[in-house]
Amino acid sequence: MKPLNEFERYVIEEKGTERPFSGELYQHNAKGRYLCRKCGAPLYLSEHKFNAHCGWPAFDDEIFGAVTRIPDADGRRTEIVCSQCGGHLGHVFEGEGLTPKNLRHCVNSVSMVFEAIDDAEAQQPATEKCLETATLGGGCFWCSEAVFLSLAGVTQVTSGYAGGAAKDANYKAVCSGATGHAEVVQIVFDPTVISYAELLEVFFSSHDPTTLNRQGNDVGPQYRSVIFAHSDKQIETASSMIKALDEEGLFGAPIVTELTAFDGFYPAEDYHNDYFALHGEQPYCALVIKPKLDKVRERFSAKLK
């Protein structure tokens, strides 16, 4: 994607808003996909779009896993951002009764670009992969990102923060240990290739789930072992696995992993993305991340990309 201009940076990176009825995609109705302007990730399909007469493009659905919801600090609205890069899209509203899905993603035109579908593709039935999302914290997210990116069926891994308020979701504040956040990775995966249970197997094998608020030399509640479940099914799967692992006594001590309902994810600053891939020569990467990654690759060789 080409660099953002000044107004695009204002909206996408500084969470600004374009004037109503001014965006070029407001009345747009061609067949195709709407992509994130910042990173190019697919967000919406044309069949999701409808005219809400609100002044901004409106969608009553999204491509699964493409959009992350973040409660506003005042508790009145819910912001939506691109799950891949964290770019600001707009806000989401429920209960308005405008479509049968009773949902409206109100999105700034400037936050998106349109990708047309050719006639041959347009005549084919619309299909989407049934992707799912997992949010896991196992210590430093640099380690976790490298581990889960290596797995077949994982399409996206985003480092970030969960468990605290939006206003404190930044690296400096979270490192204080006083915000309630944990360093986590949000994983988008194809359950036909790798199941949620298999992701949890890798999760429990790649960190120590018996140390409270600590992973090695990384100490503090931000490094706690935690599972933020996105559904009742995920809660059931994780709870059953924790019980089974404790009964087997594999770790020699009780598992202290926190299991809680997902209540929001805040993408980390850009410089945390692909950290191991970009800084593999640094001491922390070489001495901490690489041995952990090598162990996972050896144990789960059949699950690697």
- Please give the structure tokens belonging to residue 61: 């659905």
Question: What is the C-alpha separation between 122 and 199, in angstroms, rounded?
Answer: 35
* 273 shares a domain with 255: yes
Say if 140 falls within a structural domain.
yes
pTM over the 0.75 mark: no
Asked whether the beta carbons of 157 and 187 are under 8 A apart, the reply is yes
Name the one residue in this structure whose structure tokens are 């940076």: 9
Report d(CA 74, CA 38) in Å as an integer.
26
- Any domain includes 1: no
The set of catalytic residues is 140
**∠ CA(168), CA(169), CA(173), 5° rounding?**
60
Number of domains in the chain: 2
Task: Let me know whether 191 and 274 are in one domain.
Answer: yes
Q: Is 115 a member of any domain?
A: yes
| Per-residue model confidence as pLDDT tens for the chain (305 residues) | 688 999 999 999 999 999 999 999 999 999 999 999 998 889 999 999 999 999 999 999 999 888 999 988 777 899 999 988 889 999 999 999 999 999 999 999 999 999 987 544 444 444 445 688 999 999 999 889 999 999 999 988 999 999 988 888 899 999 999 999 999 999 989 898 999 999 999 999 999 999 999 998 889 999 999 999 988 889 999 999 999 999 999 899 999 999 999 888 888 888 888 777 777 788 888 888 888 888 888 888 888 88
**Residues spanned by the domain of 260:** 132-303
